[in-house]
C-alpha cells in the first residue's frame, strides 16, 4: 500500500495530481482544507490492483471473489502481459465504436448513469444525485468519476468541529429517542475531560418525562456538575446566571416532527439573547422524511448544524446525508453506539461518505448472497 498527500487550490486540482501519480484506482482516504488549500490523502494498493486483475491459472474452480494474499507473486512479465492485453481490448473497443471519440462515448453512456445508480442505492435523492453529477468534470473512467463524486458529496456535508462555532451555550434539539440526552452527556463529558467539572453545567427543558430527567441527573451526579431544570423564560435565565462562567449544555424534550413545542423550546433559548450553538440531532436509522420534517421546523440558518446519531443502526446513510445537505446544515459530529462519551466523533465528510458507500455495498450484496435466516 502506498499512501501519499497532495495539495491543490481545489479538490479538482488535487485530484488531478492523485490521478497523475497514483492512477485512477487510487482510494481517497481523507480530504481537508489546510490554509485555503485542499489536501487529499490517497492510497493505492499496488499488489492488489495487479494481482486481482491476473486470472487464476490452476487449482480449484474459482467461486465468487478470488482471495489474493499479500505475497502473491506479481512478476514484471505478468504485468507486461496484462498491459498488452488491456491495449488489445482498448483497440477492439475503439474499433467497435467506429469514428466516435472514445472518451466522449464513455462519458456520455457509461459513468454518469452508473454513478447515478450508485448514488441512488446509497439513499440519496434524485435531486442531489443530479446536482453531484452535473458538477462532475468529464471523466474517462468510472472509478475516477466515482472518487470525484464521493469527494464532492463529502464537501457538500460541510463537516466542522463544534468548537468552530462561537457560544458558551450549546442546545440540542430533535425527535423522541434520537439521542439528544446522550449527545448532551457526551459533549459535556468530553468538555470535562479537557477542562474539568468546574467549567461545565447542564440544563434540561425536558419536563415531560420523569425518566428523562433522572437519566441526566444521575450523569450530572456521577461527574459532579450542576444540573438545573427550567420550564420557562425566568427559570432558564436564572439557571444560566447561576452557571455563569461555565460551558452550558441544554437538553430539550423530544418532540414529534410536527409538534410546535419543538420550535417553542428553540424560541425560549433564543430569548436568552446570548450566542448559542443550536444543534439538531438526526438519527441515521430514522426515515429520511422524518428527518426532513424535523429540520423544516427551523428557519434557514436558525441551527448551527446537525449531529447524526445511530449511524451503527442505519441500513443506509444517504437519506440523512441528503437531508443535512438540502437543509444546508453543517455536520458537527456523529455517533455510532450507546457508550458515553466514547461513541461521539468529530464530523469527517470523507468517513461518512465511505460509510454510506459501504452500507450500500453490503445492502446490494446481501440481496444476492446472504441466505435468509430461519426463525428458531
Ligand X SMILES: Nc1nc2c(ncn2[C@@H]2O[C@H](COP(=O)(O)OP(=O)(O)O)[C@@H](O)[C@H]2O)c(=O)[nH]1
Return the C-alpha cell found at 170: 450549546
Q: What is the smallest separation between the CB atom of 265 and Mg ion, expressed in angstroms?
A: 12
- Contacted entry of ligand X, Mg ion, none for residue 196, CB cut-off 5 to 8 Å set by kind: none
Return the C-alpha cell found at 366: 446481501
When asked if residue 83 is in the footprint of ligand X (CB under 6 A), the reply is no
Task: Give me the DSSP letters along 225-254.
Answer: --EEE--SHHHHHHHHHHTTTSEEEEE---
Q: Does residue 341 have a cis bond before it (omega within 30 degrees)?
A: yes
- Contacted entry of ligand X, Mg ion, none for residue 336, CB cut-off 5 to 8 Å set by kind: ligand X
- Contacted entry of ligand X, Mg ion, none for residue 182, CB cut-off 5 to 8 Å set by kind: ligand X
Which ranges constitute the DSSP H helices of the chain? 11-22, 46-51, 76-96, 102-109, 111-121, 126-134, 142-156, 180-195, 210-223, 233-242, 260-270, 288-295, 318-326, 349-369
In DSSP terms, 277 is beta-bridged to: 170
* Binding-site member from 18, 28, 162, 212 for Mg ion (CB under 5 A): 212
Q: What is the smallest separation between the CB atom of 305 and ligand X, expressed in angstroms?
A: 17
Q: Which stretch binds ligand X (CB under 6 A): 21-29, 78-86, 139-147, 330-338?
A: 330-338
Residues 260-319 that bind ligand X (CB under 6 A): 309-310, 312-313
When asked if residue 254 is in the footprint of ligand X (CB under 6 A), the reply is yes
Q: Which stretch binds ligand X (CB under 6 A): 60-68, 71-79, 159-167, 176-184?
A: 176-184
Contact 107, 140 (CB under 8 A): yes
- Contacted entry of Mg ion, ligand X, none for residue 361, CB cut-off 5 to 8 Å set by kind: none
Q: Cβ closer to Mg ion: 152 or 181?
A: 181
Q: How far is CA 180 from CA 129, 198, 226, in A?
A: 30, 23, 18
Q: Cβ closer to Mg ion: 175 or 319?
A: 175
Lookup result for grid cell 461545565: 200
When asked if residue 189 is in the footprint of ligand X (CB under 6 A), the reply is no
Residues 179-208 that bind Mg ion (CB under 5 A): 180-181
* Binding-site member from 158, 176, 213, 231 for ligand X (CB under 6 A): 176
- Listed in sequence order, the residues at least 6 apart from 108 whose beta carbon sits closer than 8 Å to its beta carbon are none
For residue 20, with 0-12 CB atoms within 10 Å meaning exposed, 13-18 middle and 19 or more buried, which class applies?
exposed
Q: Which residues bind Mg ion (CB under 5 A)?
A: 180-181, 212
Q: Which residues bind ligand X (CB under 6 A)?
A: 174, 176-182, 254, 309-310, 312-313, 335-338, 343
Amino acid at each position: 500500500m502506498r499512501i501519499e498527500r497532495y495539495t491543490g487550490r481545489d479538490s479538482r486540482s488535487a485530484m488531478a495530481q492523485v490521478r497523475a501519480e497514483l492512477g485512477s484506482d487510487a482510494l481517497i482516504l481523507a480530504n481537508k482544507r489546510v490554509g485555503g488549500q485542499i489536501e487529499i490523502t490517497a492510497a493505492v494498493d499496488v499488489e492488489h490492483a495487479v494481482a486481482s486483475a491476473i486470472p487464476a491459472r490452476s487449482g480449484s474452480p474459482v467461486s465468487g471473489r478470488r482471495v489474493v494474499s499479500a505475497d502473491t507473486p506479481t512478476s514484471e512479465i505478468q504485468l507486461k502481459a496484462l498491459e498488452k492485453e488491456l491495449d488489445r481490448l482498448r483497440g477492439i473497443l475503439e474499433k467497435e465504436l467506429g469514428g466516435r471519440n472514445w472518451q466522449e462515448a464513455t462519458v456520455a453512456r457509461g459513468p454518469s448513469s452508473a454513478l447515478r445508480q450508485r448514488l441512488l442505492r446509497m439513499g440519496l435523492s434524485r435531486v442531489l444525485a443530479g446536482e453531484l453529477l452535473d458538477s462532475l468534470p468529464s471523466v474517462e473512467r468510472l472509478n475516477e468519476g466515482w472518487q470525484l463524486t464521493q469527494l464532492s458529496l463529502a464537501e457538500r456535508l460541510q463537516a466542522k468541529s463544534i468548537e468552530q462555532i462561537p457560544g458558551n451555550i450549546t442546545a440540542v434539539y430533535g425527535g423522541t429517542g434520537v439521542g439528544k440526552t446522550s449527545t448532551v452527556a457526551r459533549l459535556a463529558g468530553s468538555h470535562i475531560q479537557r477542562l474539568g467539572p468546574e467549567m461545565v453545567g447542564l440544563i434540561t427543558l425536558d419536563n415531560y418525562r420523569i425518566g428523562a430527567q433522572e437519566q441526566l441527573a444521575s450523569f450530572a451526579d456521577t461527574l459532579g456538575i450542576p444540573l438545573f431544570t427550567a420550564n420557562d423564560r425566568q427559570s432558564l435565565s436564572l439557571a444560566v446566571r447561576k452557571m455563569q462562567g461555565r460551558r452550558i449544555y441544554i437538553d430539550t424534550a423530544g418532540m414529534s416532527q410536527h409538534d410546535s413545542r419543538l420550535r417553542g423550546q428553540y424560541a425560549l433559548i433564543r430569548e436568552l439573547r446570548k450566542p448559542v450553538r443550536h444543534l439538531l440531532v438526526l438519527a441515521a436509522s430514522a426515515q429520511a422524511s422524518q428527518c426532513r420534517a424535523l429540520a423544516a421546523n427551523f428557519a434557514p440558518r436558525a441551527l448551527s448544524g446537525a449531529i447524526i446519531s445511530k449511524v451503527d443502526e442505519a441500513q443506509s446513510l444517504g437519506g440523512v446525508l441528503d437531508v443535512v445537505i438540502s437543509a444546508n446544515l453543517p455536520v458537527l459530529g456523529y455517533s455510532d453506539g450507546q457508550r458515553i462519551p466514547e461513541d461521539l466523533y468529530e464530523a469527517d465528510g470523507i468517513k461518512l461518505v465511505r460509510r454510506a458507500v459501504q452500507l450500500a455495498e453490503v445492502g446490494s450484496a446481501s440481496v444476492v448472497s446472504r441466505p435468509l435466516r430461519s426463525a428458531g
